[in-house]
Structure 1
Amino acid sequence: MDNANKLTLEQEFKLAIYRQKMYRLDNKNTKKHLMVTLKQMMVKDNIIKFYIKNSMP
């Protein structure tokens, strides 16, 4: 597997913290948190695509 796609140790730690927080949420709050997270990931993807598109000469 390509090393570029692996998480850093810091990212693994953050993921473990989020996992612990998620286990404490009830089903409704878990779904709400998941939707917020997915939206943030989509916004991040859009920002990356924008910068890649506009960085070409």
Structure 2
Amino acid sequence: MFSNPFVELSATISPELMQTYVVLMFLAVVGGTLFDVVHKKSAKYFFENAKKA
């Protein structure tokens, strides 16, 4: 029915390396999002509106 394309990848790359890659990408997304919020001053706008509510 369906085949897992990552089975062949695991033959050449260790599962630990794949897991490390996923964790690093997750941290990069979180870090980039936080940087964007600070850079655009979205957090300041959000907290000012939260105080008004």
TM-score by length of 2: 0.53
How far apart are 1:41 and its partner, in Å?
1.1
Give the number of the structure whose alpha-carbon radius of gyration is greater. 2
Pick the aligned partner of 1:37 from 22, 28, 32: 22
Match of 1:46 among 4, 21, 31: 31
Q: Is there any run of 5+ residues in structure 2 with no aligned partner, and where?
A: 45-53
TM-score (norm: length of structure 1) = 0.50
Q: How far off is 1:39 after superposition?
A: 0.4
Taking only aligned residues, the RMSD between alpha carbons, in angstroms, comes to: 2.3
Q: Among the aligned pairs, what percent are the same residue? A: 3
Distance 2:19 2:31 in 1: 18
Deviation at 1:46, TM superposition (A): 0.4
User: What count of residue pairs does the alignment treat as equivalent?
Assistant: 36
Q: Relative contact order, CA 8 A, sep 6+: which one is greater?
A: 1
4+ residue segments displaced more than 3 Å? none
